[in-house]
């Protein structure tokens, strides 16, 4: 009995296309990827894309226009499983960065003035789960090769990845790096999802948090620790917000108030 191949679509909304590129960059495995699954749509890799029913849709990028709302809703309707891949799709990305006391419409106007957009109407950047239900999240900026291949292969077998979030510090210690935070540097390792293998710290650069926040991260403690190390509170909050997307804003705002 031969099983039908899993139908997969890979889509890009607003982002740098780094996640789709990473999938293409799995050179050694590319033949296996294309022979194991029926890749119905993958604009970066092929023409003749079909927008039909899907088993799995991998979506990168955030939603920043009204047309993308329609697009993401259409994908959701066609796909049994929707996976947000990369930082933009999972939390909104840098374009969805939290900015206190700002009104998006006003910011937009200050950049574009009264320019009329005829193609589609721009809106404030949001992660895809602001509009549709998402089944799985694959964070990363971009996603990691091992992480993607592991996820992809498990999903082909019908098995979602085991949810086991760990911060960058875990890989960092396994690689026997010196803790930059302890040395007084601005490192966001403890708040950031691992998967990159602590690549920056391996090269003696602090973690900037590009994989996005990890579940259960202790923002309050890290904030006060950085403050004690001499960093300016506003600077800390800005840096915390950089890659944290739209969801974390209130948390950052409440850090100082959050008291037991």
| Residues contributing to the site for another protein (CB under 8 A) | 29, 32-33, 35-36, 149-150, 152-154, 156-160, 162-167, 169-170, 172-174, 176-179, 181-182, 189-191, 214-218, 220-222, 224-225, 228, 259-260
Task: Choose between 52 and 233: whose C-beta lies nearer to another protein.
Answer: 233
Bridge partners of 34?
A: none
Task: Choose between 27 and 215: whose C-beta lies nearer to another protein.
Answer: 215
In the complex, the smallest distance separating the C-beta of residue 47 from another protein, rounded to whole angstroms, is 25
In the complex, the smallest distance separating the C-beta of residue 135 from another protein, rounded to whole angstroms, is 13
Cα–Cα distance between 124 and 95 in angstroms, integer?
A: 8
* Helix-strand-coil split of the chain, %, nearest 5: 40, 15, 45
**237 with 255: CB under 8 angstroms?**
yes
Name the residue with tokens 């079909």: 50
In the complex, the smallest distance separating the C-beta of residue 9 from another protein, rounded to whole angstroms, is 19
In the complex, the smallest distance separating the C-beta of residue 168 from another protein, rounded to whole angstroms, is 8
Question: Both tokens of residue 13?
Answer: 């909304």
Task: Choose between 12 and 222: whose C-beta lies nearer to another protein.
Answer: 222
**243 with 200: CB under 8 angstroms?**
no
Task: Choose between 37 and 123: whose C-beta lies nearer to another protein.
Answer: 37
**95 with 64: CB under 8 angstroms?**
yes
């Amino acid at each position: 009995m031969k099983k039908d191949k899993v139908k997969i679509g890979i889509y890009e909304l607003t982002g740098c296309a780094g996640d789709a590129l990473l999938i293409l960059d799995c050179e050694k495995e590319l033949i296996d990827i294309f022979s194991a699954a029926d890749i119905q749509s993958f604009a970066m890799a092929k023409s003749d894309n079909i927008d039909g029913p899907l088993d799995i849709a991998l979506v990168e990028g955030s939603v920043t226009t009204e047309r993308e709302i329609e697009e993401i809703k259409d994908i959701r309707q066609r796909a049994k499983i929707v996976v947000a891949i990369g930082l933009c799709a999972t939390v909104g990305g840098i374009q969805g960065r939290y900015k206190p006391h700002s009104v998006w419409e006003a910011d937009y106007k200050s950049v574009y003035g009264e320019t009329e957009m005829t193609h589609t109407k721009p809106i404030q950047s949001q992660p895809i789960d602001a509009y549709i239900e998402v089944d799985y999240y694959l964070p990363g900026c971009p996603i990691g090769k091992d992480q993607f291949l592991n996820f992809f292969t498990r999903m082909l077998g019908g098995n979602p990845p085991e949810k086991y979030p760990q911060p960058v510090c875990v890989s960092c210690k396994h690689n026997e790096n010196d803790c930059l935070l302890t040395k007084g540097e601005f490192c966001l390792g403890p708040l950031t999802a691992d998967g990159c293998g602590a690549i920056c710290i391996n090269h003696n650069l602090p973690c900037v948090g590009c994989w996005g926040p990890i579940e259960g991260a202790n923002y309050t403690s890290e904030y006060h620790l950085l403050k004690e190390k001499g960093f300016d509170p506003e600077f800390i909050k800005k840096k915390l917000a950089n890659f944290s997307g739209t969801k974390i804003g209130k948390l950052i705002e409440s850090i100082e108030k959050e008291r037991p």
